[in-house]
Amino acid sequence: MQVALVHDWLTGMRGGERCLEVFCELFPDADLYTLLHVPGSVSPTIERRRIVTSFVARLPDAARRYRHYLPLFPAAVARFDLSAYDLVLSSSHCVAKAARPRRGALHICYCFTPMRYVWDLYDDYFGPRASVPARLLMPPVAAALRRWDRRTSARVGRFVAISRHVARRIERCYGRSAEVIYPPVDVSRFRVADEPGEFYLIVSALTPYKRVDLAVVAANRLGARLVVVGSGPEEARIRRLAGPAVDVLGWRSDAEVAELYGRCRAVLFPAIEDFGIVPLEAMAAGRPVIALGRGGALETVVSLDTADEPPTGLLFDEQTPEALAAAIRRFEANAHRFEPKSLRRRAEGFDRPVFKERIARYVDRALAEARVC
């Protein structure tokens, strides 16, 4: 059986690429198609296979500014020749799901989300903070991309969603059902520390919808020490907001991040995420989470108010600095209720081998059912 993997782009090892790495292990001879690839930016497991890129990779300064070429992505993914493959497994949050398999081939899409730039988070990317040209030009482009995104969902034989939250979005945007298989957290990367540290931690890309600014403002008001790990277009703004108790460290290696998780008091998670791997990484290190009670966090964090399971975090209701500050104060009054070993056990239910087994079993079942049909 000939297998093709399709992934939006390869520019770093984030949550999507950790899922792709598992797909590469399951199908070690599969070719990998992607809009662009920055050599050395992903793990050796991904790097050592045959990687086919699109014309986007050859556009000026594509490695840094590829998002500016968003209107060209549909044409780029349409040009991939997948006629030699029996199975296409796409991992998509943008356009990879629109890869066109040959007639009779099975296309399974592991969907991180329908294209967030033009659906739920349009205002975060192209609203008041965007440049004037972007605000003027994007409305008709976004409308066309939504039509294209909905239409090309028919190229997918089966959708698998990363959370129930995303499955509902797939149904709303595409009119399609999706099975849910949660993404993996590599529990082995983390060690449980004996004592909690004295600082709160944010691990996040510094982009508008992550709302890291809420955590910075809340920490400033409380005088609570906060460490921010991550980089992105919001970094300069976050540094300007940061008070004397807030350290913005920028990008850090996996080993450094794992060490910070183990030393922190709790992890702050103020974003509405499709799933959100950060809360589970915190739990793997035995550290609780203070999270906005919306999106994927509702599927991973066991709230302090849950009676029948050991709590792994505390949820707050409003995406405001005031609500987050109140949640931090409540956490301090209840910090003794979080038991590191219970937190670790919760993360183990999402461990990498669990994900790998579930994906393999799902693909086998889908192939068997396709042959029957």
Altogether, the residues listed in the chain come to a count of: 373
User: In this structure, what are the phi and psi dihedrals at residue 87, rounded to the nearest 5 degrees?
Assistant: -130, 130
Q: How many helices (H) and strands (E) does the chain have?
A: 15, 13
Stretch (H or E) spanning 134: helix 132-152
| Residue 341: CA count within 13 A, CB half-sphere | 0
Structural class in CATH, domain 3-184+351-372: alpha beta
Q: What is the pLDDT of residue 131?
A: 65
Q: How far are the Cα atoms of 29, 33, 38, 40 from residue 49, in angstroms, in the given order?
A: 7, 10, 14, 13
Please answer whether residues 233 and 209 qualify as being in contact, where contact means their C-beta atoms are separated by less than 8 angstroms. no
Q: How far are the Cα atoms of 14, 219, 256, 324, 335 from residue 330, in angstroms, in the given order?
A: 31, 14, 29, 10, 9
Choosing among 3.40.50.2020, 3.40.50.2000, 3.40.50.720, 3.40.640.10, the CATH entry for 187-348 is 3.40.50.2000
Domain ranges of the chain: 3-184+351-372, 187-348
* DSSP labels, 236-253: HHHHHH--TTEEEEE---
Q: What is the pLDDT of residue 138?
A: 72
What does the alpha-carbon distance between residue 292 and residue 298 come to, in Å, rounded to a whole number?
9
In three-state secondary structure terms, 183 is coil
Please answer whether residues 30 and 51 qualify as being in contact, where contact means their C-beta atoms are separated by less than 8 angstroms. no
Please answer whether residues 348 and 187 qualify as being in contact, where contact means their C-beta atoms are separated by less than 8 angstroms. yes
CA angle 171, 176, 182 (to 5 degrees): 70
Q: What is the pLDDT of residue 208?
A: 85
Q: What is the pLDDT of residue 342?
A: 94
Bridge pairing between strands 106-111 and 87-92: parallel
Q: Which segments in the chain show pLDDT lower than 70?
A: 117, 119, 121-137, 307, 372-373
What does the alpha-carbon distance between residue 356 and residue 370 come to, in Å, rounded to a whole number?
21
Please answer whether residues 359 and 26 qualify as being in contact, where contact means their C-beta atoms are separated by less than 8 angstroms. yes
Q: What is the pLDDT of residue 134?
A: 63
What does the alpha-carbon distance between residue 179 and residue 87 come to, in Å, rounded to a whole number?
18
User: In this structure, what are the phi and psi dihedrals at residue 225, rounded to the nearest 5 degrees?
Assistant: -70, 130
What does the alpha-carbon distance between residue 234 and residue 242 come to, in Å, rounded to a whole number?
12
- Residue keyed to tokens 């329908």: 114
What does the alpha-carbon distance between residue 219 and residue 189 come to, in Å, rounded to a whole number?
28
Q: What is the pLDDT of residue 82?
A: 98
Please check whether the two domains, 3-184+351-372 and 187-348, share a CATH topology.
yes
Neighbours of 145 (CB within 10 A): 21
Q: What is the pLDDT of residue 372?
A: 59
Q: What is the pLDDT of residue 321?
A: 97
